[in-house]
Structure 1
Amino acid sequence: MTRHRPIRRTFGPAALALTAVVAAATATAAAPAPAGPLPAVTPRAETPALHDDEAGGNADADDPAIWRNPAAPGRSLVIATAKEGGLRAYDLDARPVQSIAAPPAERPDDAPGRFNNVDLVHGLPLSSGPADLAVTSDRGHDRLRFYRIDRDRPGGPLTDVTDPAAPPVFSADQAEINGQRTAYGLATWRDRATGRSYALVSRRERTRVALLELTPGRAGKVTYRTVRTLDLPSSFRLPDGTSWSPCAEPGELPQVEGMVVDPATGTLYAGQEDVGIWRLRADLTGKPRLVDKVREYGVPGVYDEETEECTPGADPGYGGKRVAADVEGLTLIQESGGGGHLLASSQGDDTFAAYDRAAKKGNAYEGGFRVAPAGGTLDGSEECDGAAALNEPLGPKYPHGLLVVQDGHDAPGEGDRPSTNFKFVDLGRVVQALRD
């Protein structure tokens, strides 16, 4: 996604349309924000810097997932997207294990492959046998890509098993794909009642989320079919009776990127970047509920085409207190008995917010933290896009689990050269910081 610019969105003609307003669905968690600075946790390791320029292969760190090796947890992997740089696999020392290029453009004037988000599917029954898969959203081609995970495969742990006939997720043709209102955010989900596996995919610059069923193809390949779609609101009724839409370039609607599904309840949490965090059924039925709002919620803005920025108006005070736009990576710290936390990257102020995992308790706010520099050349996380947590032992390095977060400004950088990477954090330290 583009880096955060405060109050980017504006009232375009489409956004001003009085769509269905969900004032009844805007109840936020009731717990007050804590006083004083948030606690800091420090990373133990970081991946090599990626550079979003020609020399760096236009690689830009974005979203991670953590695959646990059940036979040898200390040999688990972090699998992460690098946009036009494709897909990366790292060991628990944050060292590169494998790099997979994004697919090239179909034709010279078409968009190239661009891997945006990644998630995992475990034990998907394929014609070649059950498989753990890394699933990515290829924003450049408007498709999902699938990679079988085999930690001990000689050529690297990831093998492309995407069915060549897999269709575009949202677009009708290549011309529409080139407009890049394409597959963006991603979360996977297995329905415990049926055993079927799904991907939930959001659309760039639109409010739409699609539910795709993942299906086996021939020769161990994987494809998908669309089950249904849902459009979140783009316009909101404020307490003073006026209608508000986030500031954006003309024609853009407030998109969703960060998403995660609670597997125990089949609940989807979706971060609408300039609005807040939604809770809804993962099968996209029922009514979405806005769990928390960004601080900038309700602030009017006027878009300036010259600067490509928005000039904000007066804050009417209708926003939340815990996250600053954009709401980005969402992940779960799962504990037994349904306990744990929903974590959200608050990109606008470089923090992370934690909410009670239990939806029946209203996903109450439970605190927050920063990922701060550890000293030397190991810096913290700024303008974080994606995050992934796994609350399971991962060998001697991470016996209490692992949190991986994207760093949008890796330091020390190389002058003006864009540098991004991923930070590895002991999850036990995060949980302790939230309890203190």
Structure 2
Amino acid sequence: MVADMTRIMHGAVAASIVVLLAGASSAAQAAPNRPGDGPAVVTTDNETPVLYDDDEGGNATGDDPAIWVGAEGTDSSLVIVTAKEGGLRVYDLDSTEVQSLPATVAPRADGAAGRYNNVDIAYGVEFGGRTVDVAVVSDRYNDQLRFFAIDPAGASAQTPLVEVTAAEQPFLFSPDREVVDEGHTAYGLAVWQTAEADYAVVTQEGATTLATARLVDVGGALGYADVSTIEMPASFPLPDGSVWTPCEEPGVGPHLEGLTVDQRTGVLYAGQEDVGLWRIALPFGSTEPELIDRVRDFGIHDAYDPETEECTPIDPADQGYGGTALEADAEGVDLYYGPGATGYLIVSSQGDDTFAVYQRQGRNALVGTFRVDGVDGADEINGSDGLAVTNRPVGDYRQGLFVTHDEPETGTGVDSERDATNFSYVGWEDIARALRLKVDTSAGNDPRFR
């Protein structure tokens, strides 16, 4: 593995968790919505075409979306999503598909056909003598990053995305192709842009490793270098003196996937699926990571049953030390920017089909939760994985746009005998109204000027 810095965080991070569990200031202590209320309800009537994970559907299964805000008028903005073995799909603001890109063989001598897991946008990247916006994608089957230049015309372009990945890029987490094929490879992804350089932050499937990689010009194409890693905890000391390890199948650790970086502060927010939500300063090692909220079954000791391939509590009466807002898996994570340090952090609570909203500033206090119902032929959101949000007016979404993955898709005309997924669009004003949140669409919050 290419790395210039590795920090083992288990001891120091775990010690800080005991303090968090014993205190009353964590985000999980806040009351969601009003006392006694369940999640607020918002609606969607705009969803992308269904994707099917079978041979006929090109083995396409939706996972993670990103919103590209167009520079030549926000009506040209795009929603770019991963479809795993099905590659990428590109949609306009009416959720019409404008481009489908297959998961091609990676540009390397030992390249395999790709599996695109997560995507994020890097604005104004300089390479090959030009400055362009780029969709950055994690490729699980090649344990690397893939890069796609975005045409400034966006939805109006004949070919909105073109791959610009440099050849022979290093594996992110594996020493060789044999280890890559074991599957513990590049997984979750977020872009981190500073005044000096552009980076991708990447998680490892089935492990607790996080990595950063600096984006670089490689002979006029785009590659990466200076890969740095840290190990996040896999076990957690509890106030009762026991040590809790999230139950996973043998050989698999409690991995992280959903990521977003606060571009103004350099803070990474990361969802560890069976654990909770982390706040981590970038670059790694700046301060100790902090677990700011926990899934509901945090601390409940489970046993893995190899016959059912499920985990069940050893003691059915075990209450654990969980939070109130997140039902494992804690999945997609993104930020809605407000003025200055304000705004909101949104996390998908996959286990109960809801979304948790936290304050961006301070201790990231929990604001409330919501779920998404479908209207006018669209279906409700189930088992959301990735999500994306922007505060910028895009198309008819004049107060911002929220996009979420939906699995299984159960809408009108969907073949219930096939594995179906898609993505739904929700106007930010609907979420803001339901949870009494603020709206800010000022140009000062444009992603190009964070």
| TM-score, length basis structure 1 | 0.91
What CA deviation, in whole Å up to 9, does each residue of 1:115-174 have, x standing for no partner? 000001000111231110000000111010000000448541101000012111111111
Distance 1:154 1:279, change over 3 A: closer
Aligned residue type for 1:174: R
Paired-residue identity, %: 45
**After TM superposition, which residue ranges in structure 1, 4 or more long, deviate above 4 angstroms?**
18-21
Q: Give 1:20 deviation, angstroms.
A: 6.1
The secondary structure found in structure 2 opposite 1:260 is: strand
The secondary structure found in structure 2 opposite 1:53 is: coil
Q: Give 1:401 deviation, angstroms.
A: 0.9
Matched, 1:24 2:16: yes
- The corresponding residue for 2:403 is 404
- The corresponding residue for 1:158 is 161
- The corresponding residue for 1:129 is 130
Aligned residue type for 1:137: S
- The corresponding residue for 1:4 is none
CA distance in 1, matches of 2:419, 2:342: 39
Q: Greater CA deviation, 176-185 or 276-285?
A: 276-285
CA distance in 2, matches of 1:283, 1:44: 40
CA distance in 1, matches of 2:422, 2:297: 28
Distance 1:33 1:154, change over 3 A: closer
CA contact (8 A) 2:372 2:381 kept: yes
- The corresponding residue for 2:446 is none
The secondary structure found in structure 1 opposite 2:278 is: strand
Instruction: Choose which of 165, 170, 187 in structure 1 pairs with 2:173.
Output: 170
Q: Give 1:110 deviation, angstroms.
A: 8.5
Q: Give 1:43 deviation, angstroms.
A: 1.3
Aligned residue type for 1:283: P
Matched, 1:301 2:308: no
Q: Give 1:106 deviation, angstroms.
A: 9.4
CA distance in 1, matches of 2:106, 2:267: 36
Q: Give 1:312 deviation, angstroms.
A: 2.2
Distance 1:88 1:186, change over 3 A: same
Distance 1:25 1:117, change over 3 A: same
Aligned residue type for 1:181: H
The secondary structure found in structure 2 opposite 1:338 is: coil
Matched, 1:336 2:336: no
- The corresponding residue for 2:448 is none
Q: How does 1:102-113 map to 2 (within 5 A)?
A: 102-104=103-105, 112-113=113-114
CA contact (8 A) 2:116 2:138 kept: yes
Q: Give 1:282 deviation, angstroms.
A: 2.3
Q: Greater CA deviation, 303-312 or 49-58?
A: 303-312
Q: Give 1:428 deviation, angstroms.
A: 1.2
The secondary structure found in structure 2 opposite 1:337 is: coil
Aligned residue type for 2:56: A
CA distance in 2, matches of 1:171, 1:39: 43
The secondary structure found in structure 2 opposite 1:430 is: helix
Q: Give 1:293 deviation, angstroms.
A: 0.2
CA contact (8 A) 2:65 2:388 kept: yes
The secondary structure found in structure 2 opposite 1:22 is: helix
Distance 1:20 1:379, change over 3 A: same
- The corresponding residue for 2:6 is none
CA distance in 2, matches of 1:356, 1:105: 39
- The corresponding residue for 2:149 is 148
Instruction: Choose which of 185, 188, 198 in structure 2 pairs with 1:185.
Output: 188
CA distance in 2, matches of 1:321, 1:23: 22
What CA deviation, in whole Å up to 9, does each residue of 1:47-94 have, x standing for no partner? 000011111111000000001112111121001100000011100000
Gaps of 5+ in 2: 1-9, 21-25, 438-450
- The corresponding residue for 1:14 is none
- The corresponding residue for 1:393 is 393
Gaps of 5+ in 1: 1-17
CA distance in 1, matches of 2:219, 2:272: 36
What CA deviation, in whole Å up to 9, does each residue of 1:175-214 have, x standing for no partner? 111001000000101123xx20000000000000001001
CA distance in 2, matches of 1:89, 1:402: 16
Aligned residue type for 1:247: C
CA contact (8 A) 2:13 2:288 kept: no
